[in-house]
Amino acid sequence: MRWSDLLDRDHRLRSIQDMLPGARGLPGGPQERRPAEVAVRFVVLLLLALIQFNDVGQGGWHGIGLLAGVVSALCVLGWGAWVLGWGMPWRWSPYLALSGLLVLGTGGALLTGVLTQYVGVSPVFPAIASVVVSVRWPALRAALVVGWFEAVLLVSAATQGWHHFGTTGLGYASMLAGMYGLGVGRRSYILRAESAEQLLAETERANHEQAHAAALAERSRIAREIHDVLAHSLAALTVQLEAADALLEAGGEASVAKAHDYVAKSRRIAREGLIETRRAIAALREDAPPMPELLHALADAYEGDTGADTEVKISGLPRPLAADAGLTVYRAAQESLTNVRKHAPGAPVRIRLLFGDGRVELSVANGAPTAPPTALADSGGGYGLSGLKERAELIGGTLEAGPLAPGEEFGGAGGPDEDGRARTGWQVTLRLHG
């Protein structure tokens, strides 16, 4: 791993510490930077710098000796600040890497004894620890530690004499262990932060996919609602316009006047279709009126258009329904009334809504028609019963439709009468959880 890559990654990882709750406990994270701990770190780093400065100054505090001491101590401070995660400006990264190279270069000069009188061997330790920590393989790291340590001891013995070998070796071993420990801690932080970065990326990707799926589902719901609203409105418009057309063909002032009434109703139905579209969007946003109010309004509009007796009965304690459930109930009632209008003109209608324990049930029943079916009976409208059944199954419900049995309200003997009209009623029943 190159130093530039390591520094760039550290910069990225530090930027996500405030974003991930699990990363706030990482070394250098916001919760870890307590004043006492910062003070201890500073003291440790300062002692290392003083040891470095003193070691370099053994050759005298003048000229190149003073310069070597200052540069060497600054190298230790800079490297240590990065290791301890003190948030150095990351534009300094190239200079930090350069200082490490300079210190390593000093090690080469030490081997020849050129700078021994001014610079001890301790300036090499930050660079040693840096190189060792940056290695990924533990076996190679251990080999580097042992190899560098033996090289430093040999240089120390050769330059200061074998009689200082024990004391000097112990001091250098302590410094190297300290530097190596700091570096290992820093590397552990980087590995943990990399895991946090990967977790953050996976979380962001999952959130993006979830938001995309939710947007597609919402788009599908809106399209389905608008489709049903327009289909219902167009079906009603077709009834009115066909009636107006038949009256105009018949001629006569009375027929023309009646045709104008149907055209006026067509305009009203078109306006109501726009209102219904807005209402569908509002229902998707879960701010629609209560279901009993919607059913009463639907029944009143149907009775006003057809003149058929239409009744609504609510059982149980009314409660708000989820957006999907509420829309399904409303669409089932609306489509059922459209079917009655098409297939059983003039038939009385009974709408029942039952709020049970964890369930809701809607039934729309109609009696036998009192007028012949119109031409609209052969046309489609909305999603029809198959579409309603599919909609109900999508949210865990069921929908059933069929003729009423004899003895039930609106139930008859079955079969058509002499005019081809059904003599029994029809019922649509919707059952949902909620």
Give 2-47 pLDDT, tens digit per residue.
Answer: 445 544 555 555 554 444 444 444 444 444 445 665 566 556 555 6
Give 315-337 pLDDT, tens digit per residue.
Answer: 999 998 887 888 889 889 988 99
How many C-beta atoms surround the C-beta of residue 283 within 10 A?
A: 22
- 167 pLDDT tier (thresholds 50, 70, 90): low
pLDDT of 98 above 50: no
pLDDT of 425 above 90: no
pLDDT of 149 above 80: no
pLDDT of residue 223: 73
pLDDT of residue 252: 80
Can you tell me the mean pLDDT for 329-346?
Answer: 88
Give 211-222 pLDDT, tens digit per residue.
Answer: 888 777 777 777
The residues spanned by each domain of the chain are: 3-209, 291-434
| Between 222 and 183, residue with greater pLDDT | 222
The mean predicted confidence, pLDDT, of the chain is 68
In CATH, the number for domain 291-434 is: 3.30.565.10
pLDDT of 53 above 90: no
Query: Which one-letter amino acid corresponds to residue 430?
Result: L
Can you tell me the mean pLDDT for 270-275?
Answer: 78
Can you tell me the mean pLDDT for 44-58?
Answer: 54
Give 233-268 pLDDT, tens digit per residue.
Answer: 777 788 788 888 888 888 788 888 888 888 888 888
pLDDT of residue 349: 95
pLDDT of residue 107: 46
| Between 196 and 160, residue with greater pLDDT | 196
Can you tell me the mean pLDDT for 400-418?
Answer: 68
pLDDT of 123 above 70: no
- 429 pLDDT tier (thresholds 50, 70, 90): very high
Can you tell me the mean pLDDT for 112-139?
Answer: 49
How many C-beta atoms surround the C-beta of residue 199 within 10 A?
A: 14
For CA atoms 165, 166, 167, 171, give the dihedral sign: positive
The helix-helix angle for 323-343 and 384-394 (nearest 10°) equals 160
Among 94-103, 352-361, 401-410, which range has the highest average pLDDT? 352-361
For CA atoms 421, 424, 425, 427, give the dihedral sign: negative
pLDDT of residue 359: 93
Least confident residue range of 84-98, 134-148, 262-276: 84-98
pLDDT of residue 212: 80
HEC per residue, the chain: CCHHHHHHHHHHHHHCCCCCHHHCCCCCCCCCCCHHHHHHHHHHHHHHHHHHHHHHHHHCCCCHHHHHHHHHHHHHHHHHHHHHCCCCCHHHHHHHHHHHHHHHHHHHHHHHCCCCCCCCCCCHHHHHHHHHHHCCCHHHHHHHHHHHHHHHHHHHHHHHCHHHHHHHHHHHHHHHHHHHHHHHHHHHHHHHHHHHHHHHHHHHHHHHHHHHHHHHHHHHHHHHHHHHHHHHHHHHHHHHHHHHHHHHHHCCHHHHHHHHHHHHHHHHHHHHHHHHHHHHHHHHCCCCCCHHHHHHHHHHHHHHHHCCCEEEEEECCCCCCCHHHHHHHHHHHHHHHHHHHHHCCCCCEEEEEEECCCEEEEEEEECCCCCCCCHHHHCCCCCHHHHHHHHHHHCCCEEEEEECCCCCCCCCCCCECCCCCECCCEEEEEEEEC
pLDDT of 101 above 50: no
CA dist 362 and 380 (Å) reads: 23
- 230 pLDDT tier (thresholds 50, 70, 90): confident
Can you tell me the mean pLDDT for 376-398?
Answer: 73
How many C-beta atoms surround the C-beta of residue 15 within 10 A?
A: 10
pLDDT of residue 427: 93
| Between 141 and 251, residue with greater pLDDT | 251
pLDDT of 168 above 50: yes
Residue 181: C-alpha distances to residues 177, 187, 302, 367, 429 (Å): 6, 10, 83, 89, 75
pLDDT of residue 91: 46
pLDDT of residue 117: 43
Least confident residue range of 149-153, 275-279, 301-305: 149-153
